[in-house]
Amino acid sequence: MAGAARSLEEWARREAGKCISCGFCEAACPTLALGPHRAYGPRGRVQLARHALESGSLGGEGLAGVYTCLLCAACVPRCPAGIDIPGLVRALRSLVASGRVEAPRWAPVRVRG
Ligand code: SF4
Ligand code: SF4
């Protein structure tokens, strides 16, 4: 089990490390326009994953970004780096659920006012 979590973590780190921050993915995302900041879109979620994997923790705002992803994959064909963004979000949820990434117990989801 620990080995599986470690390899998921390694895969996620590799995947997040491919991001060149171009932002091409953002226009395709249905949640970005609804949220209060970039963590509600694919680029922000990839950056969150990178940060969470480096630090081993995720704050409430970041957790909200992770749990508002619809896993719809609309962003995937837009990404020149070929990042499996919904797969990365799933991996992050799994790492939070298993305690390998520390996070608050609830996410303060907000809608842009
Ligand atoms: S998978 Fe998540 S990040 Fe990608 S377009 Fe859908 S809601 Fe946005
Ligand atoms: S399109 Fe891909 S490489 Fe560009 S910002 Fe989005 S996730 Fe990163």
CA distance 109 to 96: 17
Atom 5 in ligand 1: residue holding the nearest Cα? 29
Q: Pick from 32, 76, 79 the residue to mutate for probing ligand 2's pocket: most ligand atoms within 8 Å of its CB.
A: 79
Where b means 16+ CB within 10 Å and e means fewer, 48-74 reads bbbebbeeeebbebbbbbbebbeeeeb
H-helix or E-strand spanning residue 112: none
Write out pLDDT tens, residues 18-73.
Answer: 999 999 999 999 999 999 999 999 999 999 999 999 999 999 999 999 999 999 99
Q: Is the pLDDT of residue 1 over 80?
A: no
- Is there a domain that residue 48 lies in? yes
- Is there a domain that residue 35 lies in? yes
Atom 3 in ligand 1: residue holding the nearest Cα? 42
Residue with tokens 């969470």: 52
The atom of ligand 1 lying closest to the CA of 45 is 3
- Is there a domain that residue 84 lies in? yes
Q: How many domains does the chain have?
A: 1
- Is there a domain that residue 109 lies in? no
CA distance 104 to 15: 24
Q: Is the pTM of this model over 0.85?
A: yes
Domain span holding position 33: 2-97
- Is there a domain that residue 56 lies in? yes
- pLDDT value for 75: 98
- CA 96 to centroid of ligand 2, rounded, Å: 23
- Is there a domain that residue 46 lies in? yes
CA distance 28 to 94: 25
- Is there a domain that residue 106 lies in? no
CATH number, domain at 85? 1.10.1060.10
